[in-house]
Amino acid sequence: MRAGSPRLLREINDRAAIEALLQRGAMTRSELEAIIGLSKPATAQLLTRLEQDGAVVRDGLRGGSRGPRAQLWAVNGGLAHVAAVDLTPSHADIVVADVTGAILVEHQAKLPTGGGPDVVLAFADAVREVVGRAGLTPARLCAIVVGSPGAVNPADGHLGFAPHLPGWEGFDMPGRLRELFDAPVTVENDVNLVALEEMAAGRATGVEDFVLLWLSLGIGSAVVINRRLLRGATGGAGEIDWMRVPDLATADTGIDRTGVRLGNLLGSPTVVKLARAHGLPARNAWTAVRKALASGEEGKPFLTDLARRIATGVAGVVSVVDPQLVLLAGETGQAGGEELCELVAAELHRLVVPRTPVAPTLVTGNPVRSGALHSALALAREKVFGLTAATAEPFRGSPRPA
C-alpha cells in the first residue's frame, strides 16, 4: 500500500491540475502552483510529466510590464471530442467541441417532419455532416449526447411520452444511434438537460433539491433530489404534461373545470386563448405574457390566471418533494420573469404547506444543447482524465438494454 502512495499522490495532483486548467483556461506555472498548493519544483515536474503524456500543451506566453514573459499551459483539447444535439420535431441543433469545451463547429439542420425511418437516417446524416466539418467522424467522438422530448425507457431503449416526435418510437433509440455512428451515444430528456445546465451554470448551482417547469409550445418538468435527476422506473419522471388537474383560472376558455391534462392548460395554444379571454390577443404564450407585463395593471388578471394554472400543476410535486426551489424555464417562463414567478409563488402557497420560492432560470440561449454539451464533456473528461463532475450528477444517459 505504501509503495503505491507516491504514484497515487501524483495521479491526484495531475487530476487537480487538469481540473484547474479546464475550469480556468490557460495558466502560468506560478498560477497553477497557487491553485493546487504544490511547491514550485513539484509543479514544474507535474507540468513536464503532463506534457510528455500529451495531456497539456504550451499555449503561448503572458507578457508583463517587467521581467520575462511567462509560459502559459493549457489542456490539450485534441485528446478527445464530443457532440451534443438538441433534437426537436423539425430540426437538430448540433455542436461539436473538444475536451476543453472549445466549440469547433455548430449547425442547425432541418429534419423531415413526416415520420418514418427517413427521419432517423436524415438525423444521422446531419450529425455526420456537422462532425465532418470539424475534420472528424462520429466514430472518433468520445461521447454523443442527444437531448430529446419524451423519455427513453431504460429497460428497452424505446422513446415514450413523445407523440409529437414521429419516426422515433418503437425501437431502441440509443442503440440504433450507436449502430449508425459506431460511437457512444446517450439520449436524455430535453428538460432534464435544462435542469443539469442550471446546476452547472445557472440559478441551481448551490441547490440540492429543486423542480424545474418548462413552459413553451408544450410543457415538461425535471425533478432533482440531492443533485441527482429523478428519472423514474420507465424514464418518465417529470412528464407532468399528462397529469390531470382542474382549471382554477377565473376566465372561462371552454376548459373542463373538473379535470384536464396539464398540457392543455399550459401549452402555448391554450395560454393564447386565456390571454384573448382577458383582451390580450397574441400569436403565442410568451408574446401574451410580454404584452401583459407591458400593460401594467390591465395585464394583471391574465398573469394571475396563468399563475393559478402553473401553481396547480406543480402543487402536487411540491407537496411530495418539498424542494428548495421551483424554477420556471422555456420561452413563457423566461418572458414572465420575476413578476410571474411572484404570482406563481403566491398562488402555490395557497395550495400547499411548503413555502417554496419560485424563480426564473438564468441560462439563456439553447439550454438543452448547452446541457447536452456539459454532459458529453463530463463523460469525456471521466474517460480521458478520470475526472467526475463536481457541479452535478455525472451523466450516464440511457444504458444499452440487457
Any idea what the CATH number is for the domain that residue 52 is in? Answer: 1.10.10.10
User: Residue 355 sits in a domain of what CATH number?
Assistant: 3.30.420.40
pLDDT at site 256: 85
Please indicate, yes or no, if residue 367 is contained in any of the structural domains: no
Cα end-to-end span (Å), the chain: 37
Q: How many domains does the chain have?
A: 3
**64 and 88 together in one domain:** no
DSSP codes, 79-142: G-EEEEEEE-SSEEEEEEEETT--EEEEEEEE--SS-SHHHHHHHHHHHHHHHHHTT--GGG-S
Mean pLDDT of 359-378: 96
Return left, alpha or beta for 184; rule: phi > 0 is left, psi -120 to 50 is alpha, else beta.
Answer: beta
**295 and 352 together in one domain:** yes
**224 and 351 together in one domain:** yes
pLDDT at site 3: 47
Share of the chain above pLDDT 90, in %: 87
Domain with 31, as residue range(s), is 5-75
Residue 52 pLDDT exceeds 50: yes
Q: What is the pLDDT of residues 219-274, one digit of tens each?
A: 999 999 999 999 999 999 999 998 999 999 999 998 888 889 999 999 999 999 99
In this structure, the number of other CB atoms found within 10 A of the CB of residue 313 comes to 23
> Where is the domain boundary, 53, 75, 97?
75
Share of the chain above pLDDT 70, in %: 95
Please indicate, yes or no, if residue 397 is contained in any of the structural domains: no
Q: What is the pLDDT of residues 295-336, one digit of tens each?
A: 999 999 999 999 999 999 999 999 999 999 999 999 999 999
**147 and 271 together in one domain:** no
Residue 63 pLDDT exceeds 80: no
Residue 47 pLDDT exceeds 70: yes
